[in-house]
Amino acid sequence: MRGRFGPPPPDGGPRLQRSDGTRPQSGRPTLPGPATETVTLASGVRVEQLITGTGDPVTVFAHGLAGDIAGTRPLGSAVTGRRVFFHFRGHGRSDIPPGPWSFGDLATDLRGVADLSGATRALGVSMGAGALCRLIAETPDRFERAVFYLPAPLDGRRSDAAVQRLNRMLASVESGEAAMIADAVEAELPASVRNTPAGWSYLRQRVDQLQRDGLAVELETLWPEPAVPDENLLRAFRGRALVIGCEGDEVHPSGWAERLATLLRADLQMYDRPTVLWTNRQELRDRISVFLNS
């Protein structure tokens, strides 16, 4: 595929070769995930998506940079109605249109998926939250409810930690080495999870997905243009919003969560430490579902 890092593994499975004997050594492939489909948006871009649940309302879930469908599914596990998870351009099996890209392009992807499914609610994670902000800035009446989980800065400026994270991930996927990819993914896990069955399962799933699908080099072109050209446009949002941030997260500064909540007149939930999806998973899922289901 043009522009995508990461050839497929030579015989299909990740090889987590570690010196630590407590970690998985077999290289056994992960179990296959649920069947996805590829849909063509009004823009002509084809994206991979997964729909779960039945009935209304419909909620669309937008993942973060270098994220995937599997990583956003836990956030919607208790949300009623249909749940639409998808891969932005350059992720998973979605298309890689010619670059450079902007958050306007990501907002077009998100809008296209939402329009096809009739979604009236949305949740965005990090980069996905930025795309959701851009969409709302353009059409403030598009969603009735919106959740912004760990919103990244909207001004086009990234912290050193954010730059290093993307560089590390792209370099590891470009190498094609499962152990290098696992190191990059593991760096994002809390220490308490790294030597647990849940941590190993997550590592294997992510290594398998990134080796299989890779990441597009065009993702580096999303910056430095601001995600939203004028933050004040967000004040026109007509729905209800929930912003969720964390103290101590270098990639997703808590100040931006507070700033976004003010602009949207949103409910704000701040956690006292990062990696909340691992450390406060049940409470996080309950908070999101109560907001979206009410």
**Per-block average pLDDT, block size 10, for the chain (294 residues)?**
43 36 41 85 98 97 96 96 98 96 98 98 98 98 98 92 93 94 92 90 93 93 93 97 95 96 98 90 96 95
The pLDDT assigned to 294 comes to 87
Q: Which helix (H) or strand (E) holds 276?
A: helix 276-279
* Distance (Å, whole) CA 240 – CA 81: 18
Cβ of 239: how many Cβ atoms within 10 Å? 17
52: three-class secondary structure by DSSP: strand
Chain centre distance of CA 30: 21
pTM over 0.85: yes
Q: Which pLDDT does position 102 carry in this prediction?
A: 97
237 is written with which tokens? 């949002």
- Indicate the helix (H) or strand (E) that contains 109: helix 103-117
Query: How many angstroms separate the CA atoms of 66 and 181, rounded?
Result: 12
Residue 260's closest CA among 238, 241, 282?
A: 241
Query: What pLDDT, on the 0 to 100 scale, is given for residue 223?
Result: 87
Listed residue (122, 121, 114, 113) closest to 57, CA to CA: 121
252-258: long-range contacts at Cβ-Cβ below 8 A with a sequence spacing of 24 or more?
252/126, 252/150, 252/151, 252/152, 253/153, 253/159, 256/151, 256/152, 256/153, 256/154, 257/148, 257/150, 257/151
Which pLDDT belongs to residue 31? 52
Could you give phi then psi for residue 186, rounded to 5 degrees?
A: -60, -30
Distance of CA 144 to the CA centre of its chain: 21
Give bridge partners of residue 52 from the DSSP assignment.
Answer: 83
Give the pLDDT of residue 188: 87
pLDDT in the model for residue 274: 87
How many residues does the structure list for the chain? 294
Residue 69: burial class (beta carbons within 10 Å; 0-12, 13-18, 19+): buried
Q: Strands 46-52 and 37-40: what pairing?
A: antiparallel
Which structural domains are found in the chain, ordered by start?
A: 32-157+224-293 (3.40.50.1820)
